[in-house]
Amino acid sequence: MKKRIIYYIAICLATLSASSCSKFDNYDAPDQTLKGTVTDVNTGKAVQTEVTGDNTAGTRIKIIELSWSPTATPQFLASFQDGTYINTKIFAGTYRMTVEGAFVPLVQTTPVVDNGKTVEVRGGTTTVDFAVEPFLRVEWVGEPVLNANGTVTATYKITRGTANPLFQQNITDAYLFANGTKYVGNNNFMLAWSTKTTYAGNAANALLGTNQTITTPVLPKTREVYLRIGARIAFGANIYNYNEVKMITVP
């Protein structure tokens, strides 16, 4: 009797240990690196943006893996706010790549334009840069100045980044975003420290290319404040174009 129980247990153990032990995932892990920069085709400088996930608030890289289907579900890669992107966990394959953001779209329907790229991602690191025409170029003029009353005044200049009239809609607003960290933009800022200038109709056209000033509310003392200016046109998802982040110390 006792022997029989032992046999049973032995059989059970044998079954358990032998079953499903040979299954493994034989597909290569996503080990490819895909990186690059989105630059202004006219100045060669990187196009500043806000940090974005796969939503449409800033620059995002759209990739479609073609080996399965030409209409496969797209994946989106986020971009850093300085206009560069990197993803180190991409499956090897052939991808159709394009980029979306506050610049003339690389893919348009009327008239039909498709400046996307088909890229072979294999063998380590693949660099794919895009040259685009931003809707607006926002530039600092000099450094932001700390005023005696605790506010900061910044001088900036906005110019159009494209000559294509289809993408020269009215400028709706310019926003001086301020934040306590270097990640600053429309998605990440202190409302109480920031200032928005709204333009009605085409009022902002007259200001293009001229020096404009904008002043923050009174900032709290003894801290570092990060600033950048965003401006946008009434096109598509109304995404901001930015200048580079600057830090100012409020004593």
Partner 1 sequence: MKKKLYILFAVLITSFTACQKLDVPPVNIIQDKDIFGTEAGISAYMSRIYITMPIEDFKYHPAGGFNQNAQVGSAAAVTGEASSRDTGNATETFNYWSAAYTLIRDCNYFMETLPAYASNYKPEQIKNWIAEARFIRAFTYFALVKRYGGVPIVDKLLTSPGQTISELASEIEELRIPRAAEEAVYDFIATDCDQAFADLPETNKMGRANKYAAAALKSRAMLFAGTIAKYNTINLTSGNVRLCGIPSSKATTYFQAAYDAANLLTGKYSLYKNKWVAGDKAAQYNNFVNLFTDQTASNTEAIFVRQYKFPDAVHSYDALSVPKQLEGPQGNYSSEVLPTLNFVEMFEGFPKNPDGTIQVLDGTGKYIMFNNTTDLFANAEPRLRATVILPGDAFKGIPIEVRRGVYTGSSAGGLSKILPANSTAAYPATVLGSATVAANLDATNLVTISNGSKITRAGQSGVFTAIGVNATGGTFTGFYVRKYLNPDKATAETIPGRSEQQWMELRYGEVLLNKAEAAYELGGTYATEALTIINQIRDRAGATPYVAINTANDIRMERRRELAFENKTIWDMKRWRIADAEQSNTIYRALLPIMVADQSKYIMDSRFEERSVQFTFQVRWYYQQIPTAAIAKSLNLVQNPGW
Site for partner 1, rule CB under 8 A? 55-57, 69, 71, 73-74, 100, 109-110, 172, 186, 191-192, 234-238
* Of residues 72 and 207, the one with the C-beta less far from partner 1: 72
17 or 109: CB nearest partner 1: 109
Shortest reach from residue 192's CB to partner 1, in Å: 5
Cα–Cα distance list, 98 to 5, 6, 195, 246 (Å): 66, 65, 33, 29
Q: Give the nearer residue to partner 1 in terms of CB position, either 58 or 134.
A: 58
Q: Cβ closer to partner 1: 151 or 186? A: 186
CB of 27 to partner 1, least distance (A): 20
CB-nearer residue toward partner 1: 9 or 192: 192
Cβ at position 212, least distance to partner 1 in Å: 20
**Nearest residue (CB) to partner 1, 56 versus 215:** 56
Report which secondary-structure segment, H or E, holds 226. strand 223-233
Instruction: Give the whole-angstrom CA distance, residue 203 versus residue 183.
Output: 30
Beta-ladder partners of 63: 75, 97
Type of residue at 97: M
Q: Give min distance, CB of 237 to partner 1, in A.
A: 4
Q: How far is the CB of 183 from partner 1 (least distance, A)?
A: 16
Give the pair of three-digit tokens for residue 199. 């333009």
Least separation in angstroms between CB 56 and partner 1: 4
Kindly provide the residue ranges of all beta strands, DSSP E only, lying in 24-166, ordered along the sequence.
32-40, 60-65, 75-78, 84-90, 93-100, 107-108, 113-114, 117-121, 125-127, 130-132, 136-140, 145-146, 152-160
Structure tokens belonging to residue 117? 């790229």
CA-angle at 108, arms to 106 and 111, nearest 5°: 130
